[in-house]
Chain A
Amino acid sequence: MNLILDLGVTTATLLLVILGLGIILGLMDVINLAHAGLMAAGVYMALLFASLGSGFAAAVVGATGATAIIGAIIEVVVIRRLYGRAIDDTILATWGVSLILIQSISWIFGREPVGLPVPIPGGIVVVGIDYPAYRLFLVAVAAAMVLALGAVMRFTRLGLTVRMVMTNEVLARGVGIDTVRVRQLTFITGAAIAGAAGALIGPTQGLSPQYGVAFLAPAFLAVLIAGRNLAGLVAASILLGATQVLVTLYANPVYADVVVIVVAVVILRLWPAGFTWRRA
């Protein structure tokens, strides 16, 4: 049972991390390595709000808003100029943005490791096991975010517009959709989700300006495996989360990180398009 809970939490954490990345890749064809910097920005903003005396919920909301603003600036200054450019160009530029964000954070807040107090202390007893309550809360948040996003994409006019732009941008522009605005909003949404994820995961980790970087490789691989749909993101998170938890169970956790990367690389060799292969 403990194993299943661990699996749930690891999957949820990964899902939170890759959600923003996946939205930006799926809708904009941009692999956004600025994600690492945005997650760090999110968690440090939450720290800042918390130190000013706000509650954790308010801190997360504040952090989300702040990273949305940072995302808007990045979109205007950098991302907008990269449409149609080769994938290695966008990777380099967005990684540069990450470096700028990380350095700015260590400049302002210092390089020393810090911690965010766990907002829901204590445990919850689930089927006879005392499990940290906040980690279970993360699972609920991840599930809620995925369901909300899925509902928006499927049932609203906004979702329809976004799907149109995603499928055929030229045609969408032809029928009067402001595709530049759609891309801009997409990037801002992705950035905001990155900030929210950074703030939410923060209390479970030791924090430093490099905080988001450790997630980068597995997250990057997970979105490539996921392909371009929400179900794929969930499936990729479960797959890599399960690998992580199982290897940690039987071996050194350091090897688990390595095994996750190896598994992901092998999967991408066998199914280059990830879980969207059926649609190809």
Chain B
Amino acid sequence: MSARRRDFILIGAALIVVIAAVPFLGNEYRTQLWTQAFTFAIAAVSLDLVWGYTGIPDLGHSVWFGIGALTVGLMTTTVSDTGLVLESGGTAGTYIFAIALGTVIAAIAGAVVAWYAFPSRGANPFYIGIVGLALSTAIQPLYTQLPGITGGENGLFGFAYGGLDTIGWYYVCGGCFVAVLVGALILVRSDFGLLIAAIRDNERRARYLGNDVERTKIAVFAVGAGIAGFAGALYGAVVGLVSAPLFGFQFATEMLVWVAVGGRATIVGPAVGAIALSLIGSELNRSFPAQWNLALGALFVAVVVFVPDGIAAPWAKWLRRRIVGGERTLVAEPGPATAASGADALVTMRDVRFAYGSLQVLRGIDLDIERGRLLCIVGPNGAGKSTLIEVLTDGRRSIAGVVAFNLGAGQDHRRRPPHEIARHGLIRKFQIPALFRSLSVAEHLLLAAHRGRWPSPFRRTVRIAVPAAVLDVAEATGLASRADMAGGVLAHGFKQGLEIAMAVAARPVLLLLDEPTAGLTASERAVIGKILRTLIADGIAIVLIEHDFDFVGEVADRVAVLHDGKVVETGSFAEIGSSAAVRDAYLGAAP
């Protein structure tokens, strides 16, 4: 048994003992408060998945909680037209079914909202926050307008399940809390957890590695809403009360504070934050209501301004390292660096034109990209080199002309979003390194190697199999000894090296490298050149944008000169060097 597993079992056992002991330490009232606190803690964990881990600012998380509670209320009460509760209660089966139904309805509602708020063409990243605020504000007046269903101003009440005593409910909610906590920890340490952290750090980069960012965010949001709905349904069954404020913005911000105080993206922290704050709150609220609310406001400000990582964060991070860990390492996988084979002409561009608004950048590009050849694109600044790559990798850019792909399924790339094109093996290295702030070097490569395959929500890949060429790049650029360093703290040269390594790890069919050697030393550049040649020998096509003519001369099979949105010359390096058109493009035409 590893030390980590032993710690996991020890800490887990300690947690269970503490939770089991609470009812014997306090009075019945305290036990009820703890039971309620567990339902809040479940909601806090779900919000941490959505907000802390995936970076989606859900300002209306209370709505999902309210939906869960209302579902249980509706299933177990009979209400008069004016909103008076006439009758309440039900069998254990009714309550279990109602809790399950509340969870499902909240998840579906969350999925619909997320689907609307994350359109595939991309919207304001904060739009979901706006929708959350709007929902939590708009539901309150609506709630009071439908007394025949919702109980109106007073809400529904008195429908707590009577078949369990205080201690029984305590253990049910405690058990649900532990289960959700463990489930969430498994999720965030899995490969899927890696993907959502990557999306939080850099959505665009994750998309160009083949990940369907929108679908992932919708999935996380729906799961988060479902868990919050479950928490609300439990709360409903325990407390037997649902009214408009349970849906409201005020309660939503309280949830955000539980997460912020406990420490975003730590799972354990938000759970502790929710339990501690709701217990302290209900104690103080009885004796000093005004002061407590004032203190709560001050806590909001203090935590966000002065301790943005959260009060419990260092402790939660330590705990997570002890029990979650499992450092990821790279291992070489034998065989060629690409799975591609088949026809030679991969991409054919004919008379491709593209404009950013009124700025015409590409004015009729004719270009063939062939398997096993390295095509260098050179040209002065503003010639359209990076735009050419942008147009190739994002099919939603509206272009004129023809871009035909020969990548197996589907020849036309019109309207294909970037992640689909990336999954076909068109992998791109950005001109300015675009990494994931909190992911380690090894994790970057794992994500790249996945190339958009839906990652497992349970399993944590510890040994990352990558083509041997990736390890060569890592060795040459000094990354190999920095596999545990986070993307946000790497020096520029290492970032460049990692970008190249990621592009290779994705097993590309066509590799698009935008100035890969800027910022590297001469010896590093020489090694990169050698690695590019071995990739070519494996049958990969490479398009390289480069300003350094010595490097171009060393590696290129063919050179295309781009000037003013057109290919003015193509040929071997020697042919290009003596071309008059090229001299004119760089130095201006002689009068």
Instruction: Considering the complex, give the chain A residue whose CB is closest to the CB of B357.
Output: A280
The answer to whether A95 touches B134, judged by C-beta atoms less than 8 angstroms apart, is no
Chain B, residues 291-317, CB within 8 Å of chain A (1/0): the string is 001101111110011101000000000
The answer to the question of B129 belonging to the interface, with a C-beta cut-off of 8 Å to chain A, is yes
Min distance, Cβ B339 to any Cβ of chain A, angstroms = 39
User: Knowing A224-B130, A262-B134, A265-B131 touch, does A257 contact B304 (C-beta < 8 A)?
Assistant: no
Q: List A residues 40-63 near B (Cβ within 8 Å).
A: none
Chain A, residues 79-114, CB within 8 Å of chain B (1/0): the string is 001100101110111011111101110110000000
The answer to whether A254 touches B145, judged by C-beta atoms less than 8 angstroms apart, is yes
The answer to whether B293 touches A103, judged by C-beta atoms less than 8 angstroms apart, is yes
The answer to the question of B290 belonging to the interface, with a C-beta cut-off of 8 Å to chain A, is yes
The answer to whether B304 touches A107, judged by C-beta atoms less than 8 angstroms apart, is no
The answer to whether B298 touches A100, judged by C-beta atoms less than 8 angstroms apart, is yes
Q: Which residues of A contact B123 (CB under 8 A)?
A: 269, 272
The answer to the question of B127 belonging to the interface, with a C-beta cut-off of 8 Å to chain A, is yes
Q: Which residues of A contact B290 (CB under 8 A)?
A: 103, 106-107
The answer to whether B59 touches A217, judged by C-beta atoms less than 8 angstroms apart, is no
The answer to whether B145 touches A255, judged by C-beta atoms less than 8 angstroms apart, is yes
The answer to the question of B142 belonging to the interface, with a C-beta cut-off of 8 Å to chain A, is yes
Cα-based distance from A100 to B59 in the complex (angstroms): 19
Cα-based distance from A252 to B141 in the complex (angstroms): 11
- B138 contacts which of A96, A224, A261 (Cβ < 8 Å)? A261
Cα-based distance from A89 to B253 in the complex (angstroms): 12
User: Knowing A87-B126, A268-B127, A269-B123 touch, does A261 contact B301 (C-beta < 8 A)?
Assistant: no
The answer to whether A92 touches B130, judged by C-beta atoms less than 8 angstroms apart, is no
User: Knowing A217-B133, A265-B131 touch, does A99 contact B293 (C-beta < 8 A)?
Assistant: yes
Min distance, Cβ B234 to any Cβ of chain A, angstroms = 26
The answer to whether A93 touches B134, judged by C-beta atoms less than 8 angstroms apart, is no
Q: Which residues of A contact B57 (CB under 8 A)?
A: 87-88, 91
Cα-based distance from A201 to B293 in the complex (angstroms): 26
Task: Give the bracket for the number of chain B residues in contact with chain A.
Answer: 35 or more
Min distance, Cβ A212 to any Cβ of chain B, angstroms = 13
Most chain B CB neighbours (cut-off 10 Å) among A99, A220, A252: A99
The answer to the question of B222 belonging to the interface, with a C-beta cut-off of 8 Å to chain A, is no
The answer to the question of B98 belonging to the interface, with a C-beta cut-off of 8 Å to chain A, is no
The answer to the question of B119 belonging to the interface, with a C-beta cut-off of 8 Å to chain A, is yes
Q: Which residues of B contact A91 (CB under 8 A)?
A: 57, 59, 129
The answer to the question of A258 belonging to the interface, with a C-beta cut-off of 8 Å to chain B, is yes
The answer to whether A96 touches B145, judged by C-beta atoms less than 8 angstroms apart, is no
Q: List B residues 290-348 near A (Cβ within 8 Å).
A: 290, 293-294, 296-301, 304-306, 308
The answer to whether A92 touches B304, judged by C-beta atoms less than 8 angstroms apart, is yes
Cα-based distance from A85 to B304 in the complex (angstroms): 10
The answer to whether A96 touches B294, judged by C-beta atoms less than 8 angstroms apart, is no
Q: Which residues of B contact A264 (CB under 8 A)?
A: 134
Instruction: Considering the complex, give the chain B residue whose CB is closest to the CB of A101.
Output: B297
- A258 contacts which of B116, B124, B142, B249 (Cβ < 8 Å)? B142
The answer to whether B145 touches A261, judged by C-beta atoms less than 8 angstroms apart, is no
The answer to the question of A247 belonging to the interface, with a C-beta cut-off of 8 Å to chain B, is no
Cα-based distance from A98 to B249 in the complex (angstroms): 13
Chain B, residues 376-407, CB within 8 Å of chain A (1/0): the string is 00000000000000000000000000000000
The answer to the question of A158 belonging to the interface, with a C-beta cut-off of 8 Å to chain B, is no
Min distance, Cβ A219 to any Cβ of chain B, angstroms = 11
Min distance, Cβ A131 to any Cβ of chain B, angstroms = 27
Q: Which residues of B contact A99 (CB under 8 A)?
A: 293-294, 296-297, 300
The answer to whether B129 touches A87, judged by C-beta atoms less than 8 angstroms apart, is yes
Chain A, residues 201-230, CB within 8 Å of chain B (1/0): the string is 000000000000000110011001000000
Q: Which residues of A contact B138 (CB under 8 A)?
A: 217, 257-258, 261-262
The answer to the question of A126 belonging to the interface, with a C-beta cut-off of 8 Å to chain B, is no
The answer to the question of B256 belonging to the interface, with a C-beta cut-off of 8 Å to chain A, is yes
Cα-based distance from A49 to B68 in the complex (angstroms): 47
Cα-based distance from A81 to B290 in the complex (angstroms): 27
The answer to whether B301 touches A78, judged by C-beta atoms less than 8 angstroms apart, is yes
Min distance, Cβ B269 to any Cβ of chain A, angstroms = 16
Min distance, Cβ A76 to any Cβ of chain B, angstroms = 12
The answer to whether B142 touches A82, judged by C-beta atoms less than 8 angstroms apart, is no
Q: Which residues of B contact A136 (CB under 8 A)?
A: none
User: Knowing A78-B305, A262-B134 touch, does A100 contact B297 (C-beta < 8 A)?
Assistant: yes
Cα-based distance from A269 to B119 in the complex (angstroms): 9
Min distance, Cβ B128 to any Cβ of chain A, angstroms = 11
Q: Which residues of B contact A269 (CB under 8 A)?
A: 116-117, 119, 123, 127
Q: Which residues of A contact B124 (CB under 8 A)?
A: 268, 272-273
The answer to the question of B260 belonging to the interface, with a C-beta cut-off of 8 Å to chain A, is yes
Q: Which residues of B contact A100 (CB under 8 A)?
A: 294, 297-298, 301
Min distance, Cβ B355 to any Cβ of chain A, angstroms = 15
Cα-based distance from A96 to B295 in the complex (angstroms): 10
The answer to whether A220 touches B257, judged by C-beta atoms less than 8 angstroms apart, is no
The answer to whether B299 touches A96, judged by C-beta atoms less than 8 angstroms apart, is yes
Q: List A residues 246-280 near B (Cβ within 8 Å).
A: 252, 254-255, 257-258, 261-262, 264-265, 268-269, 272-273
Most chain A CB neighbours (cut-off 10 Å) among B126, B253, B297, B299: B297
Q: Which residues of A contact B144 (CB under 8 A)?
A: 254
- A272 contacts which of B127, B131, B260, B306 (Cβ < 8 Å)? B127
The answer to whether A92 touches B51, judged by C-beta atoms less than 8 angstroms apart, is no
The answer to whether B141 touches A254, judged by C-beta atoms less than 8 angstroms apart, is yes
The answer to the question of B137 belonging to the interface, with a C-beta cut-off of 8 Å to chain A, is yes
Cα-based distance from A96 to B305 in the complex (angstroms): 11
Min distance, Cβ B500 to any Cβ of chain A, angstroms = 30
Min distance, Cβ B560 to any Cβ of chain A, angstroms = 32
Chain B, residues 127-153, CB within 8 Å of chain A (1/0): the string is 101110110011001101100000000
Cα-based distance from A99 to B304 in the complex (angstroms): 14
The answer to whether A96 touches B301, judged by C-beta atoms less than 8 angstroms apart, is yes
Cα-based distance from A106 to B291 in the complex (angstroms): 11
Min distance, Cβ A93 to any Cβ of chain B, angstroms = 4
User: Knowing A87-B57, A100-B297, A103-B290 touch, does A92 contact B253 (C-beta < 8 A)?
Assistant: yes
Cα-based distance from A66 to B126 in the complex (angstroms): 33
The answer to whether A103 touches B294, judged by C-beta atoms less than 8 angstroms apart, is yes
Instruction: Considering the complex, give the chain A residue whose CB is closest to the CB of B125.
Output: A87
- B294 contacts which of A82, A107, A273 (Cβ < 8 Å)? A107
User: Knowing A87-B126, A100-B298 touch, does A93 contact B145 (C-beta < 8 A)?
Assistant: no
The answer to whether B304 touches A96, judged by C-beta atoms less than 8 angstroms apart, is yes
The answer to whether B51 touches A88, judged by C-beta atoms less than 8 angstroms apart, is yes
Cα-based distance from A254 to B297 in the complex (angstroms): 29
Instruction: Considering the complex, give the chain B residue whose CB is closest to the CB of A85.
Output: B308
Q: Which residues of B contact A103 (CB under 8 A)?
A: 290, 293-294, 297
Q: Which residues of B contact A89 (CB under 8 A)?
A: 304, 308
The answer to whether B301 touches A97, judged by C-beta atoms less than 8 angstroms apart, is yes
Min distance, Cβ B189 to any Cβ of chain A, angstroms = 24
Q: Which residues of B contact A85 (CB under 8 A)?
A: 308
Question: Can you list 12 contacts pairing A with B, beta carbon distance less than 8 Å?
Answer: A87-B57, A88-B59, A88-B126, A95-B300, A96-B298, A96-B304, A107-B290, A220-B130, A254-B142, A257-B138, A264-B134, A269-B117
Q: Which 3 A-B pairs have the closest CB atoms?
A: A96-B300, A99-B297, A100-B297
Contact surface of A with B, Cβ cutoff 8 Å: 77-78, 81-82, 85, 87-89, 91-93, 95-100, 102-104, 106-107, 216-217, 220-221, 224, 252, 254-255, 257-258, 261-262, 264-265, 268-269, 272-273
